[in-house]
Amino acid sequence: MEKIEYGFGQHLILDGYGCNREKLMDIDFIYDFLSNYPAEIEMTKIMPPYVFKYHAPVPEDWGISGFVIIAESHISIHTFPEKLYMSVDIFSCKDFDVDKAIRDITKIFEVKKSEIKVLDRGLEFPRSIRTVERFIRAERNQFTV
């Protein structure tokens, strides 16, 4: 009998400190990052990025936020140029090279210090419905007389 594979995917959460301020405040740079980066980690962009500048009630909290939907899930970024901080999330149902993504993002945004979390999402999510269906049918047949 086939083994049922579980797990929805990986979620990289990267908080970057001491980043390049000019890059964090450049809406075109952020757009280009979101537009081009999915291909770097072998993901499929299915729409153009959505990127906007946010003006916060507290002036130093302004920044740029954006996301791109990929066939495998999404990539998002939030920047705070006055604080030299950014957060990036890459969530994908397809495995990707998390270490490469960390190196790339660190280099692209000139991150001096980071906090990194990698989550395995949907631990009980069955990867193949057909495999689960066959398993359930076999299990049910085992108990019929």
At 119, the amino acid letter reads L
- Rounded Cα–Cα distance for residues 46 and 74 (Å): 10
Instruction: Answer yes or no: are the C-beta atoms of 70 and 45 closer than 8 Å.
Output: yes
Q: In whole numbers, what is the pLDDT of the chain averaged over residues?
A: 87
Residue 131 neighbours by CB distance under 10 Å: 15
pLDDT digits over 53-73, tens only?
A: 999 899 899 999 999 999 989
Q: Supply 34's token pair.
A: 């979101």
pLDDT digits over 7-49, tens only?
A: 568 899 999 999 999 999 999 999 999 999 999 999 999 999 9
pLDDT digits over 43-56, tens only?
A: 999 999 999 999 98
Whole-model pTM?
0.80
pLDDT digits over 77-88, tens only?
A: 999 999 999 999
Kindly report the length of the chain.
145
- Rounded Cα–Cα distance for residues 53 and 59 (Å): 13
Catalytic residues: 73, 78, 93
Domains of the chain: 9-126 (3.60.90.10)
Tell me: pLDDT of 76 over 90: yes
